[in-house]
Amino acid sequence: MAMSTKKKVIVIGAIILVVLVAVLCAVFLTQSADTGSLKEVVATTKQGKLAGEWVDAGDPAHFRYAAFRGIPYAQPPLGKLRFKGPKPLPPWEGIRPATTEGNTCIQDGFVGSEDCLYMNVYTPQMPSAENNPKLPVYVFIHGGAFQHGNSNADGYGPDFLITQDIVVVTMNYRTAIMASLSLDTDELPGNAGLKDQLHVLRWVKENIENFGGDPSKITLGGHSSGSVSACWLAIVPQTKDLIRAAIIQSGTAVSGWSSTNKHIEFAKAIYKHLTGTTTDDKSAMTSVFKSANYLDLYYAAENATLLIQETKGLGTDISFFYAPYIEQREQGEEEKLITKDAESYIIDKDANNIPMIIGETKQEWTRFFSLLGMFENETQLNEHIQNLITYVPPSIRPGSDTQELLRIKEHVPTVNVDDFVKKLREFYFKNDNDKECCTNCKMSKYLHQAYIMADTSHFIRLRSKYIQEPTFAFLFNLKSDYNNDITYLPHYLQSDVVHGDEMGYIWKKEKYTYDYGNNTAAVASRRLVRMITNFVKEGNPTPKIDDEITVKWQPVTHGGEETYLEITENLEQRKGSAADAEIWSEIFSSYRANKSP
């Protein structure tokens, strides 16, 4: 019997409904990528699948990006792997959740876990059958004096960067004693934190295309000790095929605190605090270190640091016992990373020939002055000025590899240290050009120069002479809404633009209330983010000029006058150096027979 018209309509309607449901299900499954939620997104890595989530950047444009948090990038460095370089992670079955940040690496005696080798990937576009975005990638290393910190989004929110269509990668890596303890053996090879970072770069190279990134367009960056680490990685040969550019903020591989030669002495002092005895037997020390409770290791390291400082008569000198060191052992199972001093990598042209941004703040060291009692005691302050050698950068004297390379071994001992210390004292403390500047101000200016700025200037000169690719230098000198709170410091320092002040303009920090309008801080943030992401995309921070980026940022060139971009409420291209380059250049050259800049 023929179907009635009414029944036909019902059947057709049902078919349409079924098709519509099928289409909606297909869309749902595509967006959820088999995880059952519209917010979830899946990426496939060499080790297995990861389920991240789509999140809202929260700015007025309501920009959405995929966040993959807590991605394991190596085996947990536990048991037999304690203190060793990172080992590849075995594959896993199924889909691993990646919506929670990984453990902070253990630090400060009570924070974090030894199981901490986790990273985060943030991407504005995921690849699909129809689209393979291949976006430039920015890999960032957090700072923290080689002892503290993590990559959590409350301090390193990627929101501003991600809106500029780049992929952002942050990481946790071993810090403090778990990263630096070394006997220069296969069991305790050292430089573990730096090797963790290198492992992340290798992971990114291998996997980032599955997150919408381009493995041929990776820029490495870092701040403070993270900047020192990024700079070391930018000059060692192991990264030649891993990165194409670098952004270095407040610390370089030639900084006086960028490396240590006290690693064996430090390990012996730690052993003594743990056992009450001394030994030169590396096997015995290794056994104790491998089995020691972390808290015992931490307090032994803290006490060893104080003991070495007192023994060497360093007093209040800021010493970085947890910094990288030059590995001299025979090559065994454990990879050697740093095998000579930083200058020699550059002069010998072993360093990567890549473009680089190098920057610092106007008053870098102000945040650390609260640790120095001299600023509250005029008598003590004058004693330190007379003993200024305590605060002379050790990097002034070239490392043994650089001495060999420049054939200056015979020349170096003839330099009269007292002469150049006297020059520094006269330049910074007896010069009456700035009569309104108090002695405290003069000492603070000197310390900014001695601990970061003089070394940075030297590194820029080295690059301009030996590296063909451009070097873009900047000085951040803006006091506005997103700077650090330094109200705990004396009144005469509270207007300073200090170490890390630019970070709140680049990274979204939970502690700030951000304004997306046109006030000074908001404009400066957009400007700085655009210049950084332009560089990540093109190797040029200012490819075009407009209403926001008003100045063409000129690179430093060898033989010409030094230049840098000063970032205030406006952008100003300056001639010269952010450091007092003339006096520092003279002192550096005096140890190098004018064969090095």
pLDDT at residue 435 in the model: 56
pLDDT at residue 243 in the model: 98
Give yes or no: residues 304 and 367 share one domain. no
**pLDDT single digits (tens) 119-132:** 999 999 999 988 89
Question: Could you tell me the pLDDT band of residue 34, with boundaries at 50, 70 and 90?
Answer: very low
In a domain, 544, yes or no: yes
pLDDT at residue 11 in the model: 47
Give yes or no: residues 276 and 391 share one domain. no
User: Does the structure show a pLDDT above 60 at 19?
Assistant: no
How many CA atoms lie less than 13 Å away from 107 in the CB half-sphere? 20
Question: Could you tell me the pLDDT band of residue 437, with boundaries at 50, 70 and 90?
Answer: low
In a domain, 135, yes or no: no
Q: In terms of residue numbers, what domain contains 297?
A: 262-316
Q: What would the mean pLDDT of 460-478 be, rounded to a whole number?
A: 94
Give yes or no: residues 360 and 444 share one domain. yes
Give yes or no: residues 402 and 532 share one domain. yes
User: Does the structure show a pLDDT above 50 at 211?
Assistant: yes
Give yes or no: residues 434 and 506 share one domain. yes
In a domain, 399, yes or no: yes
User: Does the structure show a pLDDT above 90 at 480?
Assistant: yes
Nearest to 487 by CA among 475, 495, 477: 495
pLDDT at residue 116 in the model: 97
Give yes or no: residues 475 and 393 share one domain. yes
Residue with the bigger pLDDT between 195 and 417: it is: 195
Q: Give the total number of structural domains in the chain.
A: 2
In a domain, 337, yes or no: no
* Range name among 194-208, 371-385, 511-525, 561-575 with the lowest pLDDT average: 371-385
- Per DSSP, helices labelled H in 208-350 are 225-235, 263-275, 282-291, 294-311, 342-347
pLDDT at residue 297 in the model: 94
In a domain, 582, yes or no: yes
Give yes or no: residues 311 and 361 share one domain. no
**pLDDT single digits (tens) 309-365:** 655 543 334 457 899 999 999 989 999 999 999 999 999 989 999 999 999 999 998
CA 211 to centroid of chain Cα atoms: 22
**pTM of the full structure:** 0.90
In a domain, 470, yes or no: yes
In a domain, 323, yes or no: no
How many CA atoms lie less than 13 Å away from 261 in the CB half-sphere? 9
User: Does the structure show a pLDDT above 80 at 369?
Assistant: no
* Range name among 115-124, 370-379, 562-571 with the lowest pLDDT average: 370-379
Give yes or no: residues 458 and 578 share one domain. yes
Q: 3-class SS at 89?
A: coil
Q: CATH number for the domain including 454?
A: 3.40.50.1820
In a domain, 559, yes or no: yes
Give yes or no: residues 289 and 431 share one domain. no
Q: Is 21 left (phi over 0), alpha (psi -120 to 50) or beta?
A: alpha
